[in-house]
Amino acid sequence: MQLSYSKKAEFDTKGSLRMFEKAKKVIPGGVSANIKYFAPYPIFMEKANGSHIMDVDGNEYIDYLLCYGALILGHGHPKVIESVQEQFMACGTSVFGAPHQLELRMANELVSAIPSIEMVRFTNSGLEATLLAIRLAQSYTGKYAIAKFEGHYHGGYDQVLVSVNPELEEAGSEKMPNSVPESKGIPKEIIDQTIILPFNDIDATETILRQRKEEIAAVILEPVQAGFIPANEWFMHKLRKLTEELGIVLIFDEVKTGFRMTYGGVQNIYGIKPDLTALGKVLGGGFPIGAVGGKREIMIQMDPSIGKDIFSNGGGNEGKTDIVFHSGTYNGHPTILAAGLATLNVLKDKEVMNHLISQTTKIKNGLESLYHHYKIPMKAIGMGSIFNIVLSEHPIENYRDMKKANTKLRKAIDEQLLRLGVYTKPLNRYSLSTAHTDEDIKNTIKAHEIAIRRVLNII
């Protein structure tokens, strides 16, 4: 194997370091979200185009973070920019704070694209979408505990910020995991009402659900854990049947996977209809959005005509608890929905989605071949247009399997890749966009080879 550009210069990111030091004085940790931080300091970005992103020092990277997968068309896609500009000029405002036709258009698009969705409500983030889905399930069932799977992330709020990445000594039995808080400030009673299940183990999951069926309002899961570990098909079908039998609402968190594995949700691939689905990321075309869709009988609980408005001044709100309250000043934001609809219109072309998945397969196969050449056990695991690099000889089916991977070596390689112009947060998954070219893929594989050789001290 010939190494073609082993003398490539290393990026200088002193400008990012200076900006980080200044940011720490006015922003806790120097970042506006904990996920944006990585040691020794995060890279501060300045501009982007297509599949590339440029930092404040002028270094240009091939971007595989893509705002954690939201930018499926890449940065600054002309159709998205055009749709936002046209919407603003036609309407004369960025937001109405009142119903408008784009809400109806997007809702109809989601009902058409995802068979399990009969009605839709919009939120401002995927976090808000999962939060609303859980509230709907609790109201519908009259129960208040929820069950989530070990290693699954559904947002940074109390009910689900539990056992996302617990230490194994705290995690408890593989068959009956403990509920381990992932943050300070979460009340014990909330932790006690969040029941942890083992992903891809239907027998152990069934045991727990049957034992606590009288408490559990909903089971929420990422059908593809962290966007790259797929659920076993038998596990998924059995879980759907089991939750129906036990009267438990099944919630799919498709914030990461929606419109990234196929047009619609990954549930379309599995052929399963959850009761509720949470969406986000791709749906906003690069703007903040979330949505909850699902069965009419569950969704209709939010119909404000059933009860009273909690903001009614001076009485007349006696029936406010007859409905599930849901609101948000920016819900259904017209500018965001315009960007989202433009994105979906591009993805509707089967050739576009097929090419995106083909490009993802190409880079996965190329990287696997490269790592195997250097005798590094590696699997490029994922579905559709998302994958992750896992340095392990073991099968990867859940969070505990990931603990067996060589994350120390992976992180060292990732740190070198940042210096070589391949951008993703160390240890994070790779998301591809329609903007990634054959040249991007070729250069990425070359950069991986340089990084491997540096880390292994191969001259």
Catalytic residues: 153, 253, 281
∠357-360-364 over CA atoms, to 5°?
Answer: 140
The SS3 call for residue 115 is: coil
Whose structure tokens read 């990931």? 402
User: What gap in Å lies between CA 47 and CA 59, rounded to an integer?
Assistant: 10
In this structure, the strands spanning 379-383 and 386-390 are antiparallel
- The answer to whether the CB of 394 falls within 8 A of the CB of 381 is no
Closest CA to 52 of 422, 391, 341: 422
The SS3 call for residue 62 is: strand
Cα-Cα-Cα-Cα dihedral sign, residues 228, 233, 238, 244: positive
Bridge partner residues of 386 (DSSP): 383, 431
User: What gap in Å lies between CA 307 and CA 8, rounded to an integer?
Assistant: 65
Q: How far is CA 60 from CA 48, 50, 57, 128, in A?
A: 9, 12, 9, 33
Closest CA to 406 of 362, 452, 369: 452
Whose structure tokens read 């909903």? 218
Q: Where are the beta strands (DSSP E) in 135-212?
A: 145-149, 194-197
